[in-house]
């Protein structure tokens, strides 16, 4: 019963400016591992599902839908209008990923590029910006690692939530 409830909740990973196909493949693999509904990438300034992404996904690219958006901000706004809560991942975010109060509903996790993070307009579109606490000796996490940790945290919170 619990598994059916988790599957019915939307969980999407959106990537903002991730240009390395290996990072895309790793995100697709993690999305499959943690029950995400799919991955959303922009048409421009983004890696596509090529041979490198496919190989890194270890076959998950065959099972996890990947959608391309002409305009990522507009697509995120449409997801918000449909009832999804959009969570941006940023090391300077005021909310700790473990304290997300929205994991029990439809969620979109947005990870930015390794060098620039989330773009200004994407950041403004997010309902909340969450940080993953890391040691101060490391500047930031790789986009695919951050997305994987956030996916795990949402899956963990959903599994611990009382059944309705």
Condensed to tens digits (0 to 9), the pLDDT of residues 105-127 reads 899 999 998 778 899 999 999 99
How many residues in total does the chain contain? 164
H-helix or E-strand spanning residue 16: strand 11-16
Nearest to 23, CA basis, from 144, 110, 109? 144
Instruction: Show the beta-strand stretches assigned E in 92-131.
Output: 95-96, 107-112, 128-131
Q: What is the pLDDT of residues 43-98, one digit of tens each?
A: 888 877 777 876 777 878 778 889 999 999 999 999 999 999 999 999 888 899 98
Helix %, strand %, coil % for the chain, to 5?
40, 20, 40
With a pLDDT cut of 90, the percent of the chain lying above it is 54
DSSP assignment, residue 162? P
pLDDT of residue 8: 52
Output phi, psi for 6, to 5 deg: -65, -40
Give one word for 147, left, alpha or beta, with left for phi > 0 and alpha for psi -120 to 50. Answer: alpha
């Amino acid at each position: 019963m619990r598994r059916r409830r988790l599957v019915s909740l939307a969980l999407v990973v959106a990537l903002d400016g991730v240009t390395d196909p290996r990072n895309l493949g790793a995100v697709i693999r993690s999305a499959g591992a943690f029950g995400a509904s799919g991955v959303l990438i922009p048409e421009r300034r983004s890696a596509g599902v090529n041979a490198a992404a496919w190989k890194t996904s270890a076959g998950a690219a065959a099972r996890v839908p990947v959608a391309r958006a002409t305009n990522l901000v507009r697509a995120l706004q449409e997801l918000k209008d449909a009832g999804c809560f959009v969570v941006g991942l940023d090391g300077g975010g005021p909310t700790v990923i473990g304290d997300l109060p929205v994991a029990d509903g439809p969620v979109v996790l947005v990870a930015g590029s390794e060098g620039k993070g989330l773009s200004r307009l994407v950041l403004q579109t997010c309902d909340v910006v969450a940080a993953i606490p890391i040691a101060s000796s490391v500047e930031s996490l790789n986009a695919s690692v951050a997305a994987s940790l956030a996916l795990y945290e949402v899956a963990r919170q959903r599994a611990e939530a009382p059944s309705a």
